[in-house]
C-alpha cells in the first residue's frame, strides 16, 4: 500500500503571482484548506493555506507574544476595522510572499509506504502533504494526500480490506 492509492490528483493550484485574495476565493469555492503553488512547468513552489492566512490576519501584537501565549490574547483590542485593514494590506499581494517555508513542509512521493505516510501526516503541521516526484532539479507536484484521504480509504475499504475494495466498511442501511 502506497500514497498513490489514496492521494488526490487533479488538484486546484495557483501560480506564485496569483494574489492572496485569489487563494482565499479558490479555497472557499473548492472547500480546501491548502492550495499548492506551482510554476509554469508544474514544479512545486510552495503551499498557501488557511493556517498561513490566519497567521497573517492576527494582530501584530499577537505575533510578538509567541505561540505559547495564545490564551493571553483576550486583552488585545481588535475591531473588525483593524482586521479589514490587515486584509487589505495582504489581499492583493502575490501568494509567493506568504508561502509556508519549504524547511517546515513535509513531503511524500507516490511510492511512500503507508506507515511512513501516517507518520508524516502525524508530524505535519498542516492537514495535508504535497506528493512530489523529483525529476532532475524540479519537483513535480502530482497530488496531495490528507488525513481525509486516509479516512476515505478506510471507509471505502481500500486500506483495510483491499480484496473487497468495492464494499464500503461503513454501510448506510
Is 156 in contact with 6 (CB distance < 8 Å)? Answer: no
In total, the chain counts a number of residues equal to 173
Helix 20-30 × helix 50-57 angle, to 10°? 130
pLDDT score of 14: 96
pLDDT score of 170: 47
95: three-class secondary structure by DSSP:
helix
pLDDT score of 167: 53
Provide the CATH topology of domain 3-164: CBS-domain (3.10.580)
Report the largest interatomic distance among the alpha carbons of the chain, rounded to a whole angstrom: 58
Return per-residue pLDDT of the chain as tens, 173 residues: 788 988 988 889 999 999 999 999 999 999 888 999 999 988 899 999 888 888 787 766 555 555 555 555 555 555 666 778 888 888 999 999 999 866 678 889 999 998 898 899 888 866 788 888 887 778 899 999 988 888 887 777 655 555 544 555 444 54
Amino acid at each position: 500500500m502506497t500514497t498513490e492509492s489514496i492521494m488526490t490528483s487533479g488538484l486546484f493550484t495557483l501560480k506564485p503571482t496569483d494574489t492572496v485574495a485569489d487563494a482565499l476565493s479558490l479555497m472557499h469555492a473548492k472547500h480546501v484548506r491548502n492550495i499548492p503553488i506551482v510554476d509554469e512547468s508544474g514544479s512545486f513552489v510552495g503551499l498557501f493555506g488557511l493556517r498561513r492566512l490566519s497567521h497573517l490576519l492576527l494582530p501584530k501584537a499577537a505575533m510578538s507574544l509567541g505561540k505559547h501565549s495564545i490564551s493571553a490574547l483576550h486583552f488585545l483590542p481588535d475591531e473588525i476595522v483593524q482586521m479589514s485593514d490587515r486584509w487589505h494590506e495582504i489581499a492583493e499581494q502575490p501568494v509567493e510572499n506568504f508561502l509556508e517555508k519549504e524547511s517546515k513542509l513535509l513531503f511524500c512521493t507516490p511510492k511512500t509506504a503507508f506507515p511512513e505516510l501516517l507518520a508524516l501526516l502525524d508530524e505535519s503541521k498542516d492537514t495535508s502533504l504535497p506528493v512530489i516526484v523529483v525529476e532532475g532539479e524540479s519537483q513535480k507536484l502530482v497530488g496531495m494526500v490528507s488525513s481525509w484521504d486516509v479516512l476515505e480509504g478506510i471507509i471505502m475499504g481500500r486500506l483495510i480490506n483491499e480484496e473487497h475494495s468495492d464494499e464500503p466498511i461503513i454501510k448506510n442501511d
